[in-house]
Structure 1
Amino acid sequence: MSATPTTTATPGAFAALRRPVFAVLWIATILGNTGSFMRDVASAWLVTDLSASPTAVAMVQAAGLLPIFLLAIPAGVLADILDRRRFLIVIQLLLAAVSVTLMLMAKTGGLTVSYLIGLTFIGGIGAALMGPTWQAIVPELVPKADLKGAVALNSLGVNIARAIGPAVGGLLLASFGAAVTYGADVVSYVFVLAALFWWKRKADSDDDVPEHFLGAFRAGLRYTRASRPLHVVLLRAGIFYAFGSAIWALLPLVARQLLNGDAGFYGLLLGAVGAGAIIGALVMPQLRRLTDGDGLVLGAAVAAAAVMVGLAFGPPRWAALAMLLVLGAAWIVSLTTFSGAAQSVLPNWVRGRGLAVYLTVFNGAMAAGSLGWGAVAQQWGVPVALWAGAAGLVVVGIICNRLALPTGDADLDASRHWPDPLTAAPVDHDRGPVLILIEYRIEDTNRAGFLQAMKQLSSERRRDGAYAWGISEDSAEPQRIVEWFMVESWAEHLRQHHRVSNADADLQREVVRFHTGPDAPKVQHLIGVAPPG
């Protein structure tokens, strides 16, 4: 699967659970997600009692999913500018209030389709806000060596909840009714809130220059545009899920048309996917000892493609269930690898926004791919669509394997090595724009190496807040070269001082190595002045 197997020791599958805070929050998350699946089962069934219209059923589903797509990036901004623990507590209280309202209205018989759609939409807003934030706290809970294992455990927890929640929810719904089922979801929030109140999160180190929403939104987009490692993750994930979405879009038709199954058998297929995902999460540490992330993704693509081809031939049901086990394992391997790669290239100050962009790409690729493969199946049939999706998944998997995923080895902790800027008097934070000039003395023999190093440095400047960057030489003295970049305000430049990582500091030292002046490179800060009138 990979030409260069990984030889370094890999932590065990459950190594992250040795961290008490992660273990407590992980267990609480499983309970919370189990309750959410119970709530979703109750809502999906209840809407069929309230209305026989397929449109009503579809609107309830859309009401839960639409906010996740629309609000992912704004949610990521909030995850970065607010205290994540307190933000999660507020979200959990919002979701608990939704479930309490559903429980009371179901108990009194006042629940209608309109109320159900509206409350489901509010619950979708809560889920959209929680997604990037919950993922962003993972690197705060475990050391870097356990990060990939922690991401895999989170995926495992979701699949455990997916396997338990619908079954328990269906049992409660059939035995005691919708109100009791919603009540069980309310109880699950008690455990999540208790875990969040128990967690004593360290305060952010850069709160002295807090970001505001619009500025943080722009900073997140600038970072996303300038981060090549994140581009690699987004590109490869988007292509993988666009082709891989074929099986998820067509699985109900596979169950009904190719396997001649009923709704119960379709549920078994989904259960097999969940079981396969659990198995895949458990064997991930062993797989990492054999290959790197690129090998894991390629192997997942080949395995998923093989399942798609096999299902296209309408195999016996027992064989189809076995294939879905493989699909679940392959899917969790790809999810964990891409998500872990995204986590590893994002510093803490922008992690929520970067993960929100990743989630947007993921959901967009799945949605667009599902629509496309549905159209292909409508025109040429389900088997042809599955074959095409499988072929595309393997071909792009082989091609994209040449574009290596980032290893995430860079030290992204803040270096704090920039000295405070010199000022004649205190500068208002909203003043700007700010032009920073850095003057180097570069001999002709060092010029090529210097310019190559500056090319790498330009991405770092843009990632950390510059909206314009360039280098210029003195026409009268070509050895005098000035680097310049602009940021939108004095506050944003102060944030740059906090954002520069240890990896960036190493790169900057490489640039300064070419400087031959008697003193360190001269730094100037020029602040925009509005002319009279």
Structure 2
Amino acid sequence: MAEDEAEDRAVAGSGPLSHAPFRRIVAVKAIFRFAAYMQMIASAWLVFRLSGSAMDVGIVAALALGPSLIGAPLGGSLADRFCPRKLSMLFMALQVPPLLLLMTLAASGDLTVALIFGLVFLYAVPYSLAQPIIELVVPFTVPGELRHRAVTDASAADNTAEFLGAVAGGAAVQTIGAAVVYGFNAAACIAVVVVIALSPILQRACDLARAHRDASLRSGLREGLPIPVVRTVIYGGTLFFLLIAPIEQLMATIASDHGEGAALLGVLLSAIAVGATVGNRVLSRLNSKGRSTDELLVWGVLVAAPPTILLGFSSSIYTDFLLLVVIGFAWELLETSGHEAMQLEVPQHISGRMVGVFYLLVTGASALGALAAGWLFDELGVDTSLLGIGAVALAGAIILGARRRRLPGGTAAVAASGEEPR
């Protein structure tokens, strides 16, 4: 710990990557995100291969993401009350047993759709609790003046890893096998536990948590919801992750409908990763120019809607790829801006609960959206469903943008509360 603090003082004027604790935690988080998304897509592919039903793919996505409806806000509340470092280690460790069971059953050839459903759900419960808690400890690896950049850089690493994991997931089932995918995810969980255990600098987050008296979700929402930027994040995040984000979960169905098949699933998913990478670079420049996070979030929804509509008209791998690049770009604008707002532009003592609420939107709304989109794809067809989803998202984005123009800035509201954001 003394060495980490000495390094903080020595390189305080440098970027986040100049700090070894930040590099370690971001690297291991990215490996874990890669593994988690690889197994999520692999599970979806296994289900689709076993049942041939888009509805079943939507169900496994809902089971993977649905626990966040409760787990994400609960995890955020726990992080505001107890030691985030110890909690993150606990919940990461609890993900290992169901993954090992999935690995064993896949290796023996005994994995069925029902078993995938059940074990994915058992894995998803501690996963949903862990994610907001781990996000909260990242800013404590750098000095205060670098925390905005740290969140942006960590988000870039996470999002890139997630999309690359999604790309690898479909191919991995047919190459290295599902058992290896599940085993790798279990190993990544263990690696996160080890790195956090060996990072005493994260004890700073625990010391702050002990100072909080009322860490209930109700009190956090009561204080957070009046902040304009929080409301914009909630409305915009719900729109995007309910309507647009399920495209990633159901990409196998889209690829099959457009005649591109399993072989090109990875290409389509990589388009989202390309767009996210470009989006992060643009976002860094916009942040340096003082653009507000809630403005960027609104633009994320607005930019994503038209390519979703056009995806319903597309029948070519080339146009599909370009449209998904734009969606990935918008995804990065929205998700990273939402993270920054909920972590750094609210009073520090409610940041855990606000991050939990954001994760509720990211994963909970995605789960509900995937379930609904899977049903729509089966009932109305893929292209018709995409047209309708994109149109609703566009209308919602226009309303959200008009509403935001009538609201004051979020950070001003935080300043008025008498407490500085992080």
* CA pair 88-301 structure 1, distance change in 2 beyond 3 A: closer
Equivalent residue letter for 2:153:
L
Report if the CA contact (8 A) 2:301-2:330 is conserved: yes
Report if the CA contact (8 A) 1:298-1:401 is conserved: no
TM-score, scaled to structure 1:
0.64
Which residue in the other structure is 1:276 paired with?
A: 275
Describe the SS at the equivalent of 1:357: helix
Report if the CA contact (8 A) 1:98-1:119 is conserved: yes
Which residue in the other structure is 1:222 paired with?
A: 219
**1:340 aligns to 2:340 (yes or no):** yes
Which residue in the other structure is 2:37 paired with?
A: 37
* CA pair 373-15 structure 1, distance change in 2 beyond 3 A: farther
Q: Which moved more, 1:62-71 or 1:388-397?
A: 388-397
Equivalent residue letter for 2:272:
V
Shift of 1:281: 1.0
Distance in 1, Cα, partners of 2:210 & 2:283:
41
Shift of 1:272: 0.8
Q: Aligned residues, how many?
A: 398
Q: Which has the higher contact order (CA 8 A, sep 6+)?
A: 2
Distance in 2, Cα, partners of 1:99 & 1:289:
41
Largest Rg, 1 or 2: 1
Report if the CA contact (8 A) 2:228-2:413 is conserved: no
Distance in 2, Cα, partners of 1:216 & 1:37:
31
* CA pair 387-39 structure 1, distance change in 2 beyond 3 A: closer
Q: Which moved more, 1:397-406 or 1:17-26?
A: 397-406
**1:237 aligns to 2:238 (yes or no):** no
% of aligned pairs identical? 25
Which residue in the other structure is 2:4 paired with?
A: none
Shift of 1:72: 1.9
Alignment of 1:424-439 (within 5 A): none
Shift of 1:28: 0.4
Shift of 1:291: 4.7
Which residue in the other structure is 2:98 paired with?
A: 98
Shift of 1:26: 0.3
Shift of 1:258: 9.2
* CA pair 208-399 structure 1, distance change in 2 beyond 3 A: closer
Distance in 1, Cα, partners of 2:420 & 2:289:
30
Report if the CA contact (8 A) 2:65-2:363 is conserved: no
Report if the CA contact (8 A) 2:37-2:162 is conserved: yes
Which residue in the other structure is 1:202 paired with?
A: 203
Shift of 1:171: 4.9
* CA pair 45-234 structure 1, distance change in 2 beyond 3 A: same
Task: Name the structure where helix makes up a greater proportion of residues.
Answer: 2
Q: Which moved more, 1:379-388 or 1:347-356?
A: 379-388
Distance in 2, Cα, partners of 1:236 & 1:374:
29
Which residue in the other structure is 1:402 paired with?
A: 406
Describe the SS at the equivalent of 2:411: coil
Describe the SS at the equivalent of 2:71: helix
Report if the CA contact (8 A) 1:300-1:334 is conserved: yes
* 1:446-488 deviation digits (Å, cap 9, x = unpaired): xxxxxxxxxx7xx77xxxxxxxxxxxxxxxxxxxxxxxxxxxx
Shift of 1:406: 1.9
Report if the CA contact (8 A) 1:243-1:369 is conserved: no
Distance in 2, Cα, partners of 1:25 & 1:147:
14
Task: Name the structure where strand makes up a greater proportion of residues.
Answer: 1
Report if the CA contact (8 A) 1:64-1:124 is conserved: yes
**1:292 aligns to 2:298 (yes or no):** no
Report if the CA contact (8 A) 2:85-2:203 is conserved: no
* 1:32-73 deviation digits (Å, cap 9, x = unpaired): 122223333443344456656766554433322221112222
Unaligned runs of 5+ in 1: 1-13, 412-455, 461-500, 504-533
